[in-house]
Structure 1
Amino acid sequence: MRKLKVAILGTRGIPNHYGGFEQCAEYLARGFNKRGYEVIVYNSHNHPYKESTWNGVQIIHCYDPEFKIGTAGQFVYDLNCILDVRKRRDVDVILQLGYTSSSVWGRLLKNHGAVITNMDGLEWLRTKYSKSVKRFLKYAEYLGVKFADHLIADSVGIQEYLKENYNAVSTYIPYGAYNFKAPNPKILDQYELQPYSFDILIARLEPENSIETILAGKASSNTNRKLLVIGNHNTPYGEYLKSKFNDKSIIYLGSIYDINKLNNLRYYSNIYFHGHTVGGTNPSLLEAMASNSLICANDNPFNKYILKENGLYFTDAADVTRVLDSHVKTDEKFKPLLANNRDNIGEYYSWDTIVDQYAELCEKAFDLKKNRLK
């Protein structure tokens, strides 16, 4: 049986130095390669990894002018990736992670392999965008649906949304995680921390991730534990947060991409705050579950579908304050919740399972496209 050639587009590249889709691409590329697929991943030319292969995966570097012209550069970068993959007539499946800056070029991929698009979250709902940008994102969403041969929804909520709004059938495949099994308290030494003596927040510092709500709750609490804020704070919004919450107990660590460090910080934290309000299955929530974190999540359907009753929830700053002042992870009552989260990762969200689901869809999409073009 012929093994597929799969090209992965839509990310800044691998290994991950940015976020969820990059991490997804990394695991998928590695998993596809182990299954005997020939895999291409497109990287921004200014990605720190400069080699042409990574763990048996072919890396193609395309020019990305985002560093010069801002967000508009993402459209140019995606176009450059699409123009390159069009030249590779032997690519069987084009897997697009996201649609925001690529769907406007969608018709260029017609008859160039089976196109599978992960529709991500509801980008046009993000509060950081103006009305005109939100209108464009809604249009880009429409184009993403229109030009894909198959759609992936990373949550049941997104799957239902696509059906209700576009009458579009999608395949539900969430993100993945691996249960963390090698805690090492020595990792805490470089941060001058002791186990369970700190709380933690890991997210892009953007309004829809409830950052201000969580920090306001911390500012009003009576606990003397530190709150670690992990995410790029050298942005206008980050500067605003640091100015407003200039508290010695709030430690802005910046971005950390070392998965071992992150897992240990999650594992040894007291409360892990997950404030995401937009999107489907968020990778950081699964990683927190896999790292034995006691999670306090924003109370919304996306988070509740994944976490269920195995965590704490907040809706406002007062809830955050109450959680900080009232709960400690070492309390015996939380042991079953933590165990349930790890069990759910192993049963439903293991990366091995997720890669199998992606591979099954790639095989199906290729067969359908091949038969359609006969």
Structure 2
Amino acid sequence: MKLRIGILGTRGIPNYYGGFEHISEYVSEGLVKRGHSVTVYNSHNHPYSAATWNGVTIKHCYDPEYRIGTAGQFIYDMNCLLDARKQNFDVVLLMGYTSSSIWGKLYPKNSTIITNMDGLEWKRSKYSKPVQQFLKYAEKLAVKYSNYYISDSKVIRSYLAEKYAINSQYIPYGADVYTEAEREQFSYTEALNEDYFLLMARMEPENNIEAILDGFNHSNSNRKFKVLGDTANRYGKFITHKFANDSRIEFKGSIFDNNRVRALQNNSYLYFHGHSVGGTNPSLLEAMASEALIAAHDNPFNKSVLSSDAFYFSNAEGVKDLVENVQRKDIEKTMVRNNLQKIQYQFNWEKVVDEYEDFILQCYGQLNHERIITGQR
């Protein structure tokens, strides 16, 4: 069965922003290769302006976020939904719900609505209490107006089952394992022989950047600590100011060259992953695929992916201990190898796309059978 599928809720593809854009690239292209007709909605401000991308139809909708800030996201999502109502999609896949679920009554009535339920956005400490309350409400609306649900983390799947008594399909993100030829490119002068620690994250409090750098700052390490991420926001400026006197800490800014990022991950002595909110994090999977030795914040999201194949920390003192004591011996090599196998067998993109296709077909068939039985179609 070949379906007409619309993917909404992202800024668009190819990815210039984040996780949902990243997975939408792979899923949309993969579904097209499997014979489906797929449309992805892009902001009119997206750098990619063509009408198709690798066989995927691109719909550009007006997005006023650049003029009016966050409120523009809601208008953009409304514009996408209004257009989707005209397209007669068999399935609409919504990536997240933050600014779309308030328009639940606009969801196309004859389409099967599947929502990827995101990563418990209301827990993010960067949001004020009123915003956190709104995000809880948006989550509730997403449950109400969707027919089926996807969770990219087993922790989120359990949360949704307990909170709303709904079943959601667990489908994680994926990552690419590099070939031997690609691995030979891991030889940048900036990425020399495991002589530095590495952190890659958006500059946000829930990513535990301050705790990680505090721990390193108080350590006796002679290694450098490279920090990848845009420091232009308020929190980024606070972090760079706080650690300006530690010459070992290098703020490298955002790096969009994926080969360079993977080289830095691969050659780091220890890769710190501080994310504490959300589902399966793409940058964590890429670090695993790049064969980095990982130290992760101690929380259920990270443990559900890494299990015993990582070091864990909860505070700056724990980071200091890791910085001063982690070795690179046989046990650590086994941890790296085990994480690579997880990418190969659990988190590879072909498997992820297969699972998306299987679930989409299952949902479409089930809902249409129910509609025929009840005379809704």
User: TM bucket by the smaller chain?
Assistant: over 0.9
C-alpha contact 1:199 1:272 (8 A) present in aligned 2: yes
Cα deviations by residue, 1:255-292 (Å, 9 ceiling, x for unpaired): 22322222111111111111111112111111111110
188, 195, 198: which one pairs with 2:196?
198
Q: Structure 1 residue 356 and structure 2 residue 374: aligned?
A: no
SS at match of 1:253: strand
Name the residue aligned to 2:363: 365
CA contact (8 A) 2:11 2:42 kept: yes
Matches within 5 A, 1:70-149: 70-89=69-88, 91-149=89-147
Name the CA distance, whole Å, in 2 between partners of 1:222 and 1:30.
Answer: 48
Residue aligned with 1:251, SS:
strand
Distance 2:186 2:282 in 1: 25
Mapping 1:277-356, distance limit 5 Å: 277-329=276-328, 331-356=329-354
Report the secondary structure of 2:21's partner residue.
Answer: helix
- CA 167–340 in structure 1, closer or farther in 2 if over 3 Å, else same: same
- What CA distance in whole angstroms lies between the structure 1 residues aligned with 2:255 and 2:94? 25
What letter corresponds to residue 80 of structure 1 in structure 2? N
**Structure 1 vs Structure 2 CA RMSD:** 1.4
- Deviation, 1:248, is 2.4
Identity %: 50
2:64 is aligned with 1:65: yes
SS at structure 2 position matched to 1:349 = coil
The 3-state SS of whatever aligns with 1:279 is coil
Counterpart of 2:54? 55
Q: Distance in 2 between matches of 1:294 and 1:242?
A: 25
- For the residues of structure 2 that align with 1:294 and 1:226, how far apart are their CA atoms? 16
When normalised by structure 2's length, the TM-score is 0.95
Deviations 1:117-156 (CA, angstroms, capped at 9, x unpaired): 0001111111111111111000000001111110001111
Q: Distance in 1 between matches of 2:311 and 2:160?
A: 29
> For 1:240 and 1:147, how far apart are their aligned partners in 2?
40
Shift of residue 322, structure 1, vs aligned partner: 1.4
Equivalent residue letter for 2:243? F
CA distance in 1 between partners of 2:184 and 2:45 (Å): 33
Opposite residue 184 of structure 1, the aligned amino acid is E
Q: Is the 8 A contact 1:18 1:257 kept in 2?
A: no
Residues 1:272 and 2:276 aligned together: no
- Aligned position for 1:251: 250
CA separation in 2, counterparts of 1:244 and 1:185?
Answer: 35
Does 2:185 match 1:188?
no
Equivalenced residues, count: 369
Indicate the SS of the match to 1:88. coil
Residue identity matched to 2:203:
L
Unpaired runs of at least 5, structure 1? none
TM, length-normalised to structure 1: 0.95
User: Are 2:197 and 1:169 equivalent residues in the alignment?
Assistant: no
Distance 1:332 1:348 in 2: 24
SS in 1 for 2:342: helix
1:230 aligns with 2:228: yes
Q: 1:28 to 1:228 in 2, by over 3 A?
A: same
Deviation at 1:343, TM superposition (A): 1.0
Q: Helix, strand or coil: the match of 1:359?
A: helix
Give the whole-Å Cα distance in 1 for the aligned partners of 2:113 and 2:130: 28
**SS at structure 1 position matched to 2:183:** coil
- Which SS does the other structure have where 2:346 is aligned? helix
Q: In the aligned structure 2, how far is the partner of 1:17 from the partner of 1:92?
A: 28
Distance in structure 2 (CA, Å) of the matches to 1:243 and 1:78:
37
For 1:153 and 1:222, the matched residues in 2 are separated by 41
Q: Give the aligned residue type for 2:80.
A: C
The aligned amino acid for 2:309 is N
Which secondary structure state, in structure 1, belongs to the residue aligned with residue 269 of structure 2? coil
Provide the C-alpha distance between the structure 2 equivalents of 1:325 and 1:180, rounded to a whole number of angstroms. 30
1:187, distance to aligned residue in structure 2 (A): 5.0
Change over 3 Å in CA distance of 1:248–1:112 after alignment to 2:
farther
1:157 corresponds to 2:155 = yes
Number of the residue aligned with 1:4: 3
Q: Measure the CA separation in 1 of the matches of 2:10 and 2:275.
A: 20
**Which residue is 1:20 aligned to?**
19
